[in-house]
Amino acid sequence: MNKTAWLILANGMTFEGTRFGASGEVTAEICFTTGMTGYLETLTDPSYHGQIVVQTFPMIGNYGVIPDDFESPRPRLSAYVVREVCAEPSNFRSRGRLDRYLRDSGVVGLEGVDTRALARVIREKGVMNAAIRDTLPDDLAAFTADLAARALSSDVYAVTSEKPFIVNPDGKKHVVLWDFGFKGGIARALAERGCKVSVVPAGTPAEKVLALRPDGVLLSNGPGDPATYRDIIASVNSVAESGLPVFGICLGHQLLALARGAATLKLKYGHRGGNQPVRETKSGRLFITSQNHGYAVDASTLPPAARESYVNVSDGTCEGVDYADVNAFSVQFHPEACAGPQDTAFLFDRFVKNMEESRHAAQ
């Protein structure tokens, strides 16, 4: 029988559940995602580094573990909270059960939790620190006070590649994918469009990026507070100033905005899931997007040469920016949408077109 454990929130609320996956105690920021499918992509998305992820959909694991669907080689989240884990997955592609996969990956799991109620708490109170442990503390008030005071964070440098590598070496257009915790679907989307993709670590300085002589640079997604990555922001600005076509996604969108003089802010509970509606400001057209972020660009701080291109329908936050003074654009959502809708995959085509036009202009 699985062992009982407790999820303790920094606001003093507690939720009882049973363990699955790896054993151990966890302290991290808690957030929720609304995806009905794509739990494997969620588990292996490096943007969840250092977080306890709550899955609102009631049954998870029903199609097992499928390595071909992973977004990175292994999970980076701190813990996984679900209502029910499927004990008998059914899918011809499955290579195992979720419980065993999390155990082998060292990720703590907690099931039997009312995740809908938990999501409502996070939505109303905001993301907060939380802990998973076997027993409730003797002094719950003192424990949660200490929990709330802890400075917990996610880190790009914990999830970025250790060294450069190339995807699709025979591609005709050369893209540097600046790896702040990139999802594999981004590299695949570029390769499908005939691009050679040079993946470089987060700490790569601008001069080394430019020395690769790419046709364009893609700034990837990733975890953490974008404003804390000052060296990366400076390097991103240098690359943007070079005139190369630049495309930012998620954290890359935020880093580009900071590099051009805008500010970012932390959202109350973020946008996580494959059903996030955005509106294109120029046309008014609506798109359903896949998202995973806790920070956003403050549209009121955008410089004069920047135009807000997409807006979140639910809360009005900035979802995209076009820049007139540099050859760059960015979006907060994931156009590769793994897993999720393919509504905005055309943005990769726009990036490829920018590279082609820039190459022709230079000849």
Q: Which residues are annotated as catalytic?
A: 250, 334, 336
Burial class (CB in 10 A: 0-12, 13-18, 19+), 189: buried
Tracing tokens 């540099």 back to the chain, one arrives at: 326
Q: Tell the residue number behind the tokens 């442990």, with chain if given.
A: 133
Rounded distance, CA 219 to CA 255, Å? 8
Alpha helices in the chain (DSSP H): 39-43, 98-105, 115-125, 140-149, 156-159, 184-192, 206-211, 230-241, 251-259, 346-362
Nearest partner of 339 among 271, 287, 291, 293, judged by Cα: 291
Which residues have C-beta within 8 Å of that of residue 133, sequence separation ≥ 6?
A: 5, 6, 8, 25
Say if residues 258 and 219 touch (Cβ distance below 8 Å).
no
Task: Please report the DSSP string for 1-25 in residue order.
Answer: -PPEEEEEETTS-EEEEEEEEB-S-
Q: Which of 187, 175, 186, 178 is nearest to 232 (CA)?
A: 178
Q: Which residues contact 255 (CB under 8 A, 6 or more apart)?
A: 180, 219, 226, 229, 232, 233, 236, 248
User: Omega before 263 cis (within 30°)?
Assistant: no
DSSP characters for 91-104? -TT--S-HHHHHHH
Beta sheet of 318-323, edge-to-edge order: 165-167, 195-201, 173-179, 216-219, 246-249, 328-331, 318-323, 306-312, 263-280, 286-298
Task: Determine the Cα angle at 116 with ends 73 and 52, to 5°.
Answer: 35
